Structure 1
Amino acid sequence: MEFIQEVIANNLAKMRKERGLSLDNVSELTGVSKSMLAQIENGKSNPTVTTLWKIANGLQVSFSAFLKEVDKPQIEKINRNELSPVIDDDGNYLVYSIFPFHPEKKFEIFTVELKPRFRHIAEKHTGEEYVLMQRGTLTLDIQGEKFELNPDEMIKFNANTEHIYINSTEELVRFYIIIFYPE
């Protein structure tokens, strides 16, 4: 089992048991099948970004709550190349959790890679989303309104609306996402 699968499996099982929920209960809350939840908890399935968002929304937790390791040091230097991504859309959308959610800080930070000529339809979720461009040109469709972002450009929006990340170019697009959870 890959390290990231193990972390996700342990965190999902811990959340479910702490709340006294059965797999059936979690399935009803999230819209994810009981068998898929069992496979994730047993480390037999590496969930997609979309599946993790469904579980996070249903359990009302942050996305990175599933990616959080325990007992991290207070000073943390991170190299993105050493992180394992959560992969969605057949490897065309990769999410690296840089700084997972912490309830006292109320935010989480990711770096995302979107492959050439690909679009990712994001799940609606709570919080404000901040997108900071690093590489390439990203088109962000927020409820039908399109915004083109280039390196060193940023945008902020409420994430509880439909939003689609689009890479219309032949280059890899890389950007950071900060999600702030006001309450």
Structure 2
Amino acid sequence: MAQGQTSMDDELTNDLFSIGQNIRATRRGRLSLDALAKAAGVSVGLLSQLENGRGNPTLQVLTRIAAALEVEITDIVAAPAPQATEVVRAESRSTHRVFGSDRDVELLSPHLRGPFTVTEVTLPPGAGFGTEHEFVGETVIHVLAGTYTIRTRTETIEVQQGDTLQVDTASVIGYHNDGHLPMRAVNVYVPAEEE
């Protein structure tokens, strides 16, 4: 085999591995392998192979996976350039849909992949959402304005302006604004390690 062909094969292998890592990092803590496979209409075996850098996915498969993750295809295909420092400008922030709801959150961190994700959520009075597809991990919530009501399996916690709460998301059953003013909060989410 020619030297140029070996180099191209190595580059393709690296690209497929990066795509697999991006899929896993974007899925991690949000959906199980089974849930993502079902939502994307692909087999668990295929998804597992892709996450491990094996296989050669079609554009259609990658598009379905991205749609199931509710991200752009470029979020899983393009490898983020490693940077020691990243600034997310206010005018460049992206929004992402909270799984199982009609609510969008504003992404404050550079991307969904990484050791943590930072979002800002705004809820009008009386609004809220459940946790049908909630992230699995720890969340730190800091309320900037209003009152955020977090319902867990064992208690209801009202977090007021200026307050901070750390909670295991597995115990949360809903997030609500039961107050009379709009609520704004910053959430720092750290996904659970996969078993």
Q: Same fold (TM over 0.5)?
A: yes
Matches of 1:138 and 1:110, distance apart in 2: 15
> Between Structure 1 and Structure 2, whose CA radius of gyration is higher?
2
Q: Match for residue 116 of structure 2? A: 107
Residue 29 of structure 1 deviates from its aligned partner by 4.0
1:34 to 41, 52, 56: 41
Residue 16 of structure 1 deviates from its aligned partner by 8.7
Would the aligned equivalents of 1:131 and 1:156 in 2 still touch at CA under 8 Å? yes
Which of structure 1's runs of 4+ aligned residues deviate more than 6 A? Answer: 16-19
- CA spacing shift, 1:33–1:74, aligned 2, 3 Å: closer
Residue 139 of structure 1 deviates from its aligned partner by 0.6
TM-score by length of 1: 0.59
- Structure 1 gap ranges (5+): 1-12, 20-25, 56-64
Residue 165 of structure 1 deviates from its aligned partner by 0.8
1:125 to 135, 140, 144: 135
Residue 118 of structure 1 deviates from its aligned partner by 0.9
Paired amino acid for 1:86? H
Residue 42 of structure 1 deviates from its aligned partner by 3.5
Aligned length: 144
Matches of 1:134 and 1:125, distance apart in 2: 22
Q: Match for residue 28 of structure 2? A: none
Q: Match for residue 177 of structure 1? A: 187
TM-score by length of 2: 0.56
Mapping for residues 37-52 of structure 1, pairs under 5 Å: 41-42=62-63, 52=69
Identical residues among aligned pairs (%): 15
Would the aligned equivalents of 2:145 and 2:160 in 1 still touch at CA under 8 Å? yes
Would the aligned equivalents of 2:135 and 2:191 in 1 still touch at CA under 8 Å? no
- Structure 2 gap ranges (5+): 1-17, 25-31, 43-58
Q: Please provide the CA RMSD for this pair.
A: 3.9
Q: Match for residue 146 of structure 1? A: 156
